[in-house]
Protein backbone atom coordinates (compact mmCIF):
# COMPACT_ATOMS: atom_id res chain seq x y z
CA UNK A 1 0.00 0.00 0.00
CA UNK A 2 1.48 3.36 -1.05
CA UNK A 3 1.57 6.31 1.33
CA UNK A 4 -1.26 7.98 -0.62
CA UNK A 5 -3.40 4.84 -0.45
CA UNK A 6 -2.64 4.41 3.23
CA UNK A 7 -3.72 7.99 3.90
CA UNK A 8 -6.91 7.51 1.88
CA UNK A 9 -7.68 4.26 3.65
CA UNK A 10 -7.12 5.71 7.12
CA UNK A 11 -9.26 8.74 6.29
CA UNK A 12 -12.09 6.59 4.90
CA UNK A 13 -12.05 4.24 7.90
CA UNK A 14 -11.95 7.17 10.33
CA UNK A 15 -14.94 8.77 8.61
CA UNK A 16 -16.89 5.48 8.64
CA UNK A 17 -16.21 4.80 12.33
CA UNK A 18 -16.96 8.39 13.29
CA UNK A 19 -20.23 8.31 11.35
CA UNK A 20 -21.20 5.10 13.16
CA UNK A 21 -20.41 6.81 16.47
CA UNK A 22 -22.53 9.84 15.54
CA UNK A 23 -25.39 7.54 14.58
CA UNK A 24 -25.08 5.72 17.91
CA UNK A 25 -24.96 8.90 19.99
CA UNK A 26 -27.18 11.31 18.06
CA UNK A 27 -29.48 9.14 15.97
CA UNK A 28 -31.37 10.88 13.20
CA UNK A 29 -30.64 14.52 12.45
CA UNK A 30 -33.45 17.05 12.89
CA UNK A 31 -35.46 17.42 9.68
CA UNK A 32 -34.24 20.99 9.13
CA UNK A 33 -30.61 19.85 8.74
CA UNK A 34 -31.11 16.35 7.37
CA UNK A 35 -29.63 15.93 3.86
CA UNK A 36 -32.21 13.24 2.99
CA UNK A 37 -34.97 15.73 3.79
CA UNK A 38 -33.20 18.23 1.50
CA UNK A 39 -33.13 15.57 -1.22
CA UNK A 40 -36.84 14.91 -0.75
CA UNK A 41 -37.56 18.65 -0.92
CA UNK A 42 -35.56 18.97 -4.15
CA UNK A 43 -37.46 16.04 -5.64
CA UNK A 44 -40.76 17.64 -4.68
CA UNK A 45 -39.81 21.04 -6.12
CA UNK A 46 -38.46 19.68 -9.41
CA UNK A 47 -41.14 17.04 -9.95
CA UNK A 48 -43.52 19.35 -11.91
CA UNK A 49 -40.66 20.45 -14.18
CA UNK A 50 -39.76 16.92 -15.26
CA UNK A 51 -43.38 15.78 -15.40
CA UNK A 52 -43.71 18.14 -18.37
CA UNK A 53 -41.13 16.03 -20.21
CA UNK A 54 -42.80 12.91 -18.88
CA UNK A 55 -42.27 9.25 -19.63
CA UNK A 56 -39.11 7.25 -19.10
CA UNK A 57 -36.87 10.03 -20.43
CA UNK A 58 -38.32 12.61 -18.07
CA UNK A 59 -37.80 10.32 -15.09
CA UNK A 60 -34.24 9.50 -16.15
CA UNK A 61 -33.31 13.18 -16.53
CA UNK A 62 -34.96 13.90 -13.20
CA UNK A 63 -32.82 11.36 -11.34
CA UNK A 64 -29.60 12.42 -13.09
CA UNK A 65 -30.28 16.10 -12.34
CA UNK A 66 -30.87 15.62 -8.62
CA UNK A 67 -27.86 13.31 -8.29
CA UNK A 68 -25.72 15.97 -9.94
CA UNK A 69 -27.21 18.82 -7.87
CA UNK A 70 -26.09 17.19 -4.64
CA UNK A 71 -22.97 15.22 -5.50
CA UNK A 72 -21.05 17.66 -7.72
CA UNK A 73 -21.19 20.72 -5.40
CA UNK A 74 -20.48 18.57 -2.35
CA UNK A 75 -17.38 17.10 -3.92
CA UNK A 76 -16.25 20.52 -5.11
CA UNK A 77 -16.44 21.77 -1.52
CA UNK A 78 -14.67 18.65 -0.21
CA UNK A 79 -11.91 19.11 -2.80
CA UNK A 80 -11.31 22.75 -1.85
CA UNK A 81 -11.26 21.79 1.84
CA UNK A 82 -8.33 19.42 1.27
CA UNK A 83 -5.86 21.69 3.12
CA UNK A 84 -8.30 21.77 6.08
CA UNK A 85 -8.43 18.08 6.87
CA UNK A 86 -10.49 18.31 10.07
CA UNK A 87 -13.18 20.49 8.49
CA UNK A 88 -13.22 18.25 5.43
CA UNK A 89 -13.61 15.14 7.59
CA UNK A 90 -16.43 16.68 9.65
CA UNK A 91 -18.35 17.52 6.47
CA UNK A 92 -17.89 13.99 5.14
CA UNK A 93 -18.93 12.43 8.45
CA UNK A 94 -22.05 14.61 8.51
CA UNK A 95 -23.14 13.51 5.04
CA UNK A 96 -22.17 9.86 5.42
CA UNK A 97 -24.19 9.54 8.63
CA UNK A 98 -27.22 10.88 6.75
CA UNK A 99 -27.08 7.99 4.27
CA UNK A 100 -27.67 5.25 6.88
CA UNK A 101 -29.57 4.73 10.10
CA UNK A 102 -29.08 2.09 12.77
CA UNK A 103 -30.21 3.87 15.92
CA UNK A 104 -33.05 5.48 13.99
CA UNK A 105 -34.58 2.08 13.23
CA UNK A 106 -34.38 1.20 16.92
CA UNK A 107 -35.94 4.54 17.88
CA UNK A 108 -38.88 3.92 15.51
CA UNK A 109 -39.52 0.27 16.36
CA UNK A 110 -39.08 0.28 20.14
CA UNK A 111 -42.24 2.38 20.72
CA UNK A 112 -44.18 -0.23 18.72
CA UNK A 113 -42.75 -2.95 20.96
CA UNK A 114 -43.59 -0.99 24.12
CA UNK A 115 -47.15 -0.35 22.96
CA UNK A 116 -47.70 -4.02 22.13
CA UNK A 117 -46.28 -5.12 25.48
CA UNK A 118 -48.71 -2.83 27.29
CA UNK A 119 -51.62 -4.02 25.17
CA UNK A 120 -52.15 -0.61 23.55
CA UNK A 121 -52.92 -1.72 19.98
CA UNK A 122 -54.04 1.75 18.86
CA UNK A 123 -50.74 3.29 19.94
CA UNK A 124 -48.84 0.45 18.26
CA UNK A 125 -50.69 1.11 15.00
CA UNK A 126 -49.98 4.84 15.28
CA UNK A 127 -46.23 4.27 15.74
CA UNK A 128 -46.21 1.66 12.96
CA UNK A 129 -47.86 4.10 10.54
CA UNK A 130 -44.77 6.30 10.87
CA UNK A 131 -42.52 3.65 9.31
CA UNK A 132 -44.77 1.86 6.77
CA UNK A 133 -46.83 3.07 3.82
CA UNK A 134 -49.64 0.51 4.26
CA UNK A 135 -52.93 1.25 6.03
CA UNK A 136 -52.55 0.23 9.68
CA UNK A 137 -56.07 1.08 10.86
CA UNK A 138 -57.51 -2.44 10.67
CA UNK A 139 -54.45 -4.35 11.86
CA UNK A 140 -54.40 -6.73 14.80
CA UNK A 141 -51.33 -7.68 16.82
CA UNK A 142 -50.00 -10.36 14.44
CA UNK A 143 -50.08 -8.10 11.40
CA UNK A 144 -48.53 -5.23 13.36
CA UNK A 145 -45.66 -7.49 14.41
CA UNK A 146 -45.32 -8.77 10.85
CA UNK A 147 -45.13 -5.25 9.41
CA UNK A 148 -42.55 -4.23 12.02
CA UNK A 149 -40.37 -7.26 11.25
CA UNK A 150 -40.65 -6.62 7.50
CA UNK A 151 -39.64 -2.99 8.04
CA UNK A 152 -36.62 -3.98 10.12
CA UNK A 153 -35.59 -6.60 7.54
CA UNK A 154 -35.82 -4.27 4.52
CA UNK A 155 -34.27 -1.48 6.56
CA UNK A 156 -31.12 -3.52 7.01
CA UNK A 157 -30.56 -3.40 3.24
CA UNK A 158 -31.91 0.04 2.32
CA UNK A 159 -30.92 1.81 5.50
CA UNK A 160 -27.56 0.28 6.37
CA UNK A 161 -25.93 -2.35 4.20
CA UNK A 162 -26.36 -0.80 0.75
CA UNK A 163 -25.19 2.76 1.53
CA UNK A 164 -22.20 1.52 3.54
CA UNK A 165 -21.39 -1.10 0.90
CA UNK A 166 -21.18 1.62 -1.76
CA UNK A 167 -19.22 3.87 0.60
CA UNK A 168 -16.63 1.10 1.03
CA UNK A 169 -16.16 0.92 -2.76
CA UNK A 170 -16.76 4.46 -4.05
CA UNK A 171 -16.45 6.62 -0.95
CA UNK A 172 -18.98 9.23 0.08
CA UNK A 173 -20.14 9.69 -3.52
CA UNK A 174 -21.21 6.04 -3.63
CA UNK A 175 -23.19 6.24 -0.41
CA UNK A 176 -24.86 9.51 -1.40
CA UNK A 177 -25.61 8.28 -4.93
CA UNK A 178 -27.37 5.26 -3.43
CA UNK A 179 -29.33 7.33 -0.90
CA UNK A 180 -30.61 9.70 -3.60
CA UNK A 181 -31.59 6.79 -5.85
CA UNK A 182 -33.37 5.08 -2.95
CA UNK A 183 -35.20 8.30 -2.08
CA UNK A 184 -36.40 8.52 -5.68
CA UNK A 185 -37.60 4.93 -5.45
CA UNK A 186 -39.72 5.90 -2.43
CA UNK A 187 -41.15 8.96 -4.18
CA UNK A 188 -41.91 8.10 -7.80
CA UNK A 189 -41.22 4.39 -8.42
CA UNK A 190 -44.84 3.24 -8.33
CA UNK A 191 -46.88 1.13 -10.74
CA UNK A 192 -49.86 3.48 -10.93
CA UNK A 193 -50.80 5.27 -14.15
CA UNK A 194 -49.14 8.52 -13.08
CA UNK A 195 -45.74 7.03 -12.19
CA UNK A 196 -45.32 3.78 -14.09
CA UNK A 197 -43.27 5.19 -17.00
CA UNK A 198 -41.98 8.28 -15.21
CA UNK A 199 -40.64 6.34 -12.22
CA UNK A 200 -39.39 3.31 -14.14
CA UNK A 201 -35.76 4.43 -14.33
CA UNK A 202 -35.73 5.17 -10.60
CA UNK A 203 -37.15 1.70 -9.91
CA UNK A 204 -34.62 -0.01 -12.17
CA UNK A 205 -31.71 1.93 -10.67
CA UNK A 206 -32.76 1.11 -7.10
CA UNK A 207 -33.17 -2.57 -8.04
CA UNK A 208 -29.70 -2.70 -9.57
CA UNK A 209 -28.05 -0.95 -6.64
CA UNK A 210 -29.72 -3.20 -4.06
CA UNK A 211 -29.29 -6.43 -6.04
CA UNK A 212 -26.05 -7.67 -4.46
CA UNK A 213 -26.54 -6.20 -0.95
CA UNK A 214 -30.02 -7.76 -0.72
CA UNK A 215 -28.65 -11.24 -1.38
CA UNK A 216 -25.71 -10.63 0.90
CA UNK A 217 -28.12 -9.57 3.63
CA UNK A 218 -29.63 -13.06 3.78
CA UNK A 219 -26.22 -14.58 4.52
CA UNK A 220 -25.54 -11.98 7.21
CA UNK A 221 -28.97 -12.41 8.83
CA UNK A 222 -28.53 -16.19 8.97
CA UNK A 223 -25.02 -15.78 10.41
CA UNK A 224 -26.20 -13.39 13.10
CA UNK A 225 -29.18 -15.59 13.99
CA UNK A 226 -26.78 -18.50 14.42
CA UNK A 227 -24.48 -16.40 16.61
CA UNK A 228 -27.52 -15.47 18.73
CA UNK A 229 -28.40 -19.19 19.05
CA UNK A 230 -31.60 -18.74 17.06
CA UNK A 231 -32.26 -21.96 15.15
CA UNK A 232 -33.74 -21.17 11.70
CA UNK A 233 -36.90 -23.01 10.69
CA UNK A 234 -35.51 -23.32 7.15
CA UNK A 235 -32.27 -22.65 5.27
CA UNK A 236 -33.96 -22.73 1.85
CA UNK A 237 -34.04 -19.12 0.69
CA UNK A 238 -35.25 -19.55 -2.88
CA UNK A 239 -39.00 -20.04 -2.19
CA UNK A 240 -39.04 -17.06 0.20
CA UNK A 241 -37.01 -14.84 -2.12
CA UNK A 242 -39.60 -15.34 -4.87
CA UNK A 243 -42.63 -14.37 -2.73
CA UNK A 244 -42.92 -10.58 -3.31
CA UNK A 245 -42.97 -8.86 -6.71
CA UNK A 246 -39.79 -7.02 -5.73
CA UNK A 247 -36.58 -8.52 -7.09
CA UNK A 248 -34.73 -7.78 -3.86
CA UNK A 249 -37.14 -7.47 -0.92
CA UNK A 250 -37.71 -11.21 -0.58
CA UNK A 251 -34.12 -11.85 0.48
CA UNK A 252 -33.96 -9.89 3.76
CA UNK A 253 -37.62 -10.48 4.64
CA UNK A 254 -37.54 -14.15 3.68
CA UNK A 255 -34.35 -14.83 5.62
CA UNK A 256 -35.79 -13.10 8.71
CA UNK A 257 -39.02 -15.09 8.36
CA UNK A 258 -37.04 -18.34 8.06
CA UNK A 259 -34.73 -17.51 10.96
CA UNK A 260 -37.54 -16.54 13.33
CA UNK A 261 -39.88 -19.25 12.09
CA UNK A 262 -42.77 -16.81 11.64
CA UNK A 263 -45.32 -15.99 9.00
CA UNK A 264 -44.94 -12.51 7.47
CA UNK A 265 -47.88 -11.05 5.62
CA UNK A 266 -48.84 -7.88 3.80
CA UNK A 267 -52.56 -8.19 3.19
CA UNK A 268 -53.45 -8.57 -0.47
CA UNK A 269 -49.82 -8.62 -1.63
CA UNK A 270 -47.72 -11.45 -0.20
CA UNK A 271 -47.32 -14.05 2.55
CA UNK A 272 -43.99 -15.51 3.62
CA UNK A 273 -44.19 -19.02 5.03
CA UNK A 274 -48.00 -19.25 5.45
CA UNK A 275 -47.68 -22.46 7.50
CA UNK A 276 -45.53 -20.84 10.18
CA UNK A 277 -46.97 -19.28 13.34
CA UNK A 278 -47.96 -15.61 13.49
CA UNK A 279 -45.25 -13.36 14.94
CA UNK A 280 -45.44 -11.88 18.40
CA UNK A 281 -43.74 -9.01 20.18
CA UNK A 282 -40.79 -11.22 21.19
CA UNK A 283 -40.16 -11.88 17.50
CA UNK A 284 -40.06 -8.15 16.81
CA UNK A 285 -37.47 -7.82 19.59
CA UNK A 286 -35.39 -10.61 18.09
CA UNK A 287 -35.63 -9.08 14.60
CA UNK A 288 -34.47 -5.71 15.94
CA UNK A 289 -31.56 -7.38 17.76
CA UNK A 290 -30.58 -9.24 14.58
CA UNK A 291 -30.79 -5.96 12.63
CA UNK A 292 -28.54 -4.12 15.08
CA UNK A 293 -26.02 -6.94 15.43
CA UNK A 294 -25.96 -7.48 11.65
CA UNK A 295 -25.40 -3.77 10.98
CA UNK A 296 -22.24 -3.58 13.07
CA UNK A 297 -21.03 -7.06 12.15
CA UNK A 298 -21.27 -6.28 8.43
CA UNK A 299 -18.91 -3.33 8.94
CA UNK A 300 -16.43 -5.49 10.83
CA UNK A 301 -16.36 -8.65 8.70
CA UNK A 302 -17.34 -7.31 5.28
CA UNK A 303 -16.89 -3.60 4.70
CA UNK A 304 -13.56 -3.01 6.43
CA UNK A 305 -11.93 -6.03 4.69
CA UNK A 306 -13.41 -4.83 1.40
CA UNK A 307 -11.89 -1.39 1.94
CA UNK A 308 -8.51 -2.94 2.77
CA UNK A 309 -8.65 -4.92 -0.47
CA UNK A 310 -9.62 -1.91 -2.57
CA UNK A 311 -6.94 0.39 -1.15
CA UNK A 312 -4.29 -2.36 -1.31
CA UNK A 313 -5.00 -4.03 -4.64
CA UNK A 314 -6.40 -1.21 -6.78
The whole-number pLDDT of residue 292 equals 97
Domains held by the chain: number: 1
What's the rounded Cα separation, in Å, for the pair 293 and 295?
Answer: 5
pLDDT bracket for residue 1 (50, 70, 90):
low
Task: Give mean pLDDT, residues 302-306.
Answer: 90
The phi, psi pair for 190, rounded to 5°, reads -115, 160
Q: 209 pLDDT exceeds 70?
A: yes
- DSSP for 23-48? HHHH-SPPGGG-HHHHHHHHHHHHHH
The whole-number pLDDT of residue 143 equals 95
Q: 19 pLDDT exceeds 70?
A: yes
The whole-number pLDDT of residue 135 equals 85
What's the rounded Cα separation, in Å, for the pair 220 and 232?
Answer: 13
Q: 223 pLDDT exceeds 90?
A: yes
SS3 content of the chain, % helix, strand, coil (to 5): 75, 5, 25
Q: Note down the domain range covering 191.
A: 3-313
What's the rounded Cα separation, in Å, for the pair 4 and 222?
Answer: 38
What's the rounded Cα separation, in Å, for the pair 12 and 14?
Answer: 5
Q: 154 pLDDT exceeds 70?
A: yes
For residue 218, count CB atoms less than 10 angstroms from its CB and return exposed for 0-12, middle for 13-18, buried for 19 or more. Answer: buried
Task: Give mean pLDDT, residues 129-155.
Answer: 92
The whole-number pLDDT of residue 150 equals 96
User: For 36-61, what is each residue's pLDDT tens digit?
Assistant: 999 999 999 999 999 999 899 999 99
For residues 248 and 269, is the Cβ–Cβ distance under 8 A?
Answer: no
User: For 92-115, what is each residue's pLDDT tens digit?
Assistant: 999 999 999 999 999 999 999 999
For residues 197 and 59, is the Cβ–Cβ distance under 8 A?
Answer: yes
User: For 225-284, what is each residue's pLDDT tens digit?
Assistant: 999 999 998 888 888 889 988 899 999 999 999 999 999 999 889 999 999 999 999 999
What's the rounded Cα separation, in Å, for the pair 91 and 235?
Answer: 43
For residues 87 and 189, is the Cβ–Cβ distance under 8 A?
Answer: no
Chain centre to alpha carbon of residue 274: 26
What's the rounded Cα separation, in Å, for the pair 153 and 249?
Answer: 9
C-alpha separations of 34 from 28, 37, 94, 99, 118 in Å: 8, 5, 9, 10, 33
User: For 157-183, what is each residue's pLDDT tens digit?
Assistant: 999 999 999 999 999 999 999 999 999
User: For 176-208, what is each residue's pLDDT tens digit?
Assistant: 999 999 999 999 988 888 999 999 999 999 999
3-state secondary structure of 196: coil
Amino acid sequence: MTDANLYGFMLAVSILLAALAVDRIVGEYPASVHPVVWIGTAIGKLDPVYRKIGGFLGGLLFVVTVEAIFIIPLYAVIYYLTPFVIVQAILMIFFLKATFSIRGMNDHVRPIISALESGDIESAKKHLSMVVRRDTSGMESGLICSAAIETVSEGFVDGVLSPLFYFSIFGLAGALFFRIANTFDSNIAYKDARNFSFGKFAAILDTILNYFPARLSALIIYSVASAMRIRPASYDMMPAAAVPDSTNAGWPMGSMSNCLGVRLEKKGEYVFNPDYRNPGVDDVKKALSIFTFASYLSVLILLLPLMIFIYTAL
